[in-house]
Amino acid sequence: MKNKILKRLICTFSLVLISFSLFSFPLYNFKNDTLTSSGYKLRTVIIDAGHGEYAPPGVGGHYSRGASGSYSNERDVTLAIALKLQTAIEKDLEGVKVVLTRNTSEDVSWEKRSEIANESHGDVFISIHCNSLPDKVEYSHGRRIHVPDRSGKGVLLLVYGFHRTKEEESVIRKKLNEDEAVDETGNGGGDPNDPTTVILMNAIKTKYRKQSIHLADLINTEFVDHDGRHSDGVIEQGVLVLCHSAMPSVLVETGFINNPDDEAYLNSESGQDEIVASLVRALTNYKKEVEDAAE
């Protein structure tokens, strides 16, 4: 028995434009998104506070405390911003709920973060981080010395790179199998040998990537144009937690915590409030666009 949703979607379009530049990120036109369901509403936003204090006993996965400044740590800053962002979204975006991947200092593996996002049926995944530059290596009297590099400043937006698409496919296929009844072959929505699935898989990957880049562009615009912050732009990177979350996903580097000015900003109430306000404005614009396109 063929997957009913796959059939309906394939009937709505005969050709999916999959070509997308690796080097330029044009704004996404949601009106051309043939996979936007009629009446679609953005309901669930996953907020991921990067890193954490320690690894829970008996739990596998890689854990990291993240970057640190002269007096603060990434794990604490990201949690503070995430909690404020949850409150602001649920206050200002009607009908939208927030799921946090962590709400305590305890660390969570990237596998668990992606699992939380997918099991919560998130519509958008935003991972909050703080940036840092490694020490510079200099030589003095024939000896290598490490000198802190505090020259980094401002924000950076990351989306997952094309080299991670195979991993994303497995996550999407799993989601299709969970959402649809399994047929007599044991396959269901994610049969990798079904041409229909291949076409749909490519369409979904392209949609998620375009929406991720567009959301990142919206966030970046708010940081630069509204807050006047320096930005290193939107770039692609092999971030596991992004490509393993089956939804549009963006990692936000909110500032360089090892830069004294950025560290003060990231730890201040006003700085955190400004970051949160920019993220909420970007999400508000994104929500309006995807929902208008679904009408």
* pLDDT at 5 (0 to 100): 46
Q: Over range 2-21, report the average pLDDT.
A: 41
How many Cβ atoms from other residues are within 10 Å of residue 228's Cβ? Answer: 8
| Cβ pair 14, 154 in contact under 8 A | no
- φ and ψ of 204, to 5 deg: -65, -45
More confident residue, 231 or 202: 231
CA–CA separation, 219 and 231 (whole Å): 11
Question: What percent of the chain has pLDDT above 90?
Answer: 51
What is the domain partition of the chain in residue ranges? 41-161+210-293
Amino acid in position 202: N
* pLDDT at 21 (0 to 100): 36
Question: What percent of the chain has pLDDT above 70?
Answer: 71
Look up the CATH architecture of domain 41-161+210-293: 3-Layer(aba) Sandwich (3.40)
Between 15-29, 157-171, 214-228, the lowest mean confidence (pLDDT) is in 15-29
Burial 241-251 (b: 16+ CB within 10 A, else e): bbbbbbbbbbb
Q: 115, 45, 30: which is closest to 276 by C-alpha?
A: 45
Sort 21 into a burial class: Cβ within 10 Å, 0-12 / 13-18 / 19+.
exposed
Task: Please report how many Cα atoms fall inside a 13 Å half-sphere around the Cα of residue 164, on the Cβ side.
Answer: 19
* pLDDT at 26 (0 to 100): 47
Helix (H) or strand (E) holding 9: helix 4-12
CA–CA separation, 80 and 63 (whole Å): 19
Burial 71-96 (b: 16+ CB within 10 A, else e): ebbbbbbbbbbbbbbbebbeeebeeb
* pLDDT at 110 (0 to 100): 84
* pLDDT at 132 (0 to 100): 94
pLDDT digits (tens, 9 = 90+) for 113-154: 999 999 999 999 999 999 999 888 888 888 998 888 899 999
